[in-house]
Structure 1
């Protein structure tokens, strides 16, 4: 069956997004009539206090969770109109994921982990493409190493190569630097920034770290499942991390 798609100017758009967990007196509203779009070729950071809806937004936008009400469109496809099988295929073919926990397969080499999305899609990975993906994240000489033989930063770089090898429409990153030291975090954030600037990739990143958020083109602040504030401006601008931290502090004090 062909997926119906309409041309749009945004890579992902949530419209009137509402997600409620539980019912009655125990109901928890994680997203509350939220409308937000992500333009192609941009890097957006999502921030907010604990319980603000950051992870729920990412999961619903990526088709990992279903909205209670509202819509999510990925490249013009209404995710709510797809059954689970078609959503799985769409995620595999058109979305990349980078998680805090790396999620590499321990028994596979770095090269085999990078190949995995293509193999799962029934495609034969080109060895040159895998080598190029690893070279792009600075791991050309680690292709035969397993995750246990790599540092945390190197494992996350393998995860980024795996996410990007299919040239997905969107990469969703959930606290990608949460388990890394400062130097490794900068490397990973630089790679995500380079994917946007060099390949026109769309990146949506959930983070609690103002320094990580400073790499983004825009920072969207959530509170109680709603957009509480937004900050645009050039990524990497001097003092930007401090500005983001100040906005977060004010948000947490409301």
Structure 2
């Protein structure tokens, strides 16, 4: 598989925090590849490096060594300005905490990334984004007037309106009930299947991971296992094995 067929690739990435005896190794020479048009879940015990992998892959944090490539672009060669533009134009983010602006309506929250990029999206464009996540009728509602699942769907619409190359999701169902979580996971699955997007999702939930095409398992900052076509039971069994060491 060529670099251009990979949405994201990490090559021997190392990332540490702290110094001296307090140094913590989050990623220990980790290599991983995420194919374009795929849905990959990233799992592992607490402290295994899941969130650090996501932050480095998304250009939110720079590794100490190694390479991170987004569609063949080496993020390490970009200065902060160009890295900011790349994140804005080619990467979408969805977090557990939604990160919506409480004073803005759903439509205004969805419109925000394009406004910050100097674009003025049409009402139709924003409407399509909200329709795609099943919330066309909630366009004028503020986050406080929406359920947790609806707020997460607004966050997904906001992430997708820029048509990013990759959507990174960090525990996107962590704050949701089972029904709302299922709706969000089905939406992410649909984003891949119908629109050819690439989704990389960190999760602790085997059921959430079962919606992905593949699961990458981390331990101590390295990829220890990979499962293709996962079921929730298979994922749970692998996690139990990793946690027992």
C-alpha separation in 2, matches of 1:203 and 1:221: 16
SS of match in other structure, 1:8? helix
Map 1:179-198; keep pairs closer than 5 Å: 179-198=175-194
CA offsets per residue over residues 203-233 of structure 1, 9 Å max, x none?
A: 0000000000000000000000001110002
Partner residue of 2:94 out of 88, 91, 98: 98
Could you tell me which residue of structure 2 aligns to residue 130 of structure 1? 126
Could you tell me which residue of structure 1 aligns to residue 240 of structure 2? 249
How many aligned positions are there?
244
Could you tell me which residue of structure 2 aligns to residue 3 of structure 1? none
Bigger drift between 195-204 and 23-32 goes to 23-32
The reply to whether residue 150 of structure 1 matches residue 146 of structure 2 is yes
SS of match in other structure, 2:4? coil
TM-score by length of 1: 0.94
C-alpha separation in 2, matches of 1:253 and 1:101: 30
Could you tell me which residue of structure 1 aligns to residue 104 of structure 2? 108
Q: Runs of 5+ in structure 2 lacking a partner?
A: none
What is the CA RMSD across the aligned residues, in angstroms? 1.1
Q: After the TM superposition, which parts of structure 1 deviate over 6 Å for at least 4 consecutive aligned residues?
A: none
TM-score by length of 2: 0.98
C-alpha separation in 2, matches of 1:7 and 1:170: 14
Q: Report the Cα offset of residue 27 of structure 1.
A: 1.1
Could you tell me which residue of structure 1 aligns to residue 44 of structure 2? 48
Q: Report the Cα offset of residue 24 of structure 1.
A: 2.0
Could you tell me which residue of structure 1 aligns to residue 166 of structure 2? 170
C-alpha separation in 1, matches of 2:18 and 2:105: 41
SS of match in other structure, 1:132? helix
C-alpha separation in 2, matches of 1:8 and 1:132: 29
Partner residue of 1:62 out of 58, 77, 88: 58
SS of match in other structure, 2:204? coil
CA offsets per residue over residues 145-197 of structure 1, 9 Å max, x none?
A: 00000000000000000111111000000000000000000000000000000
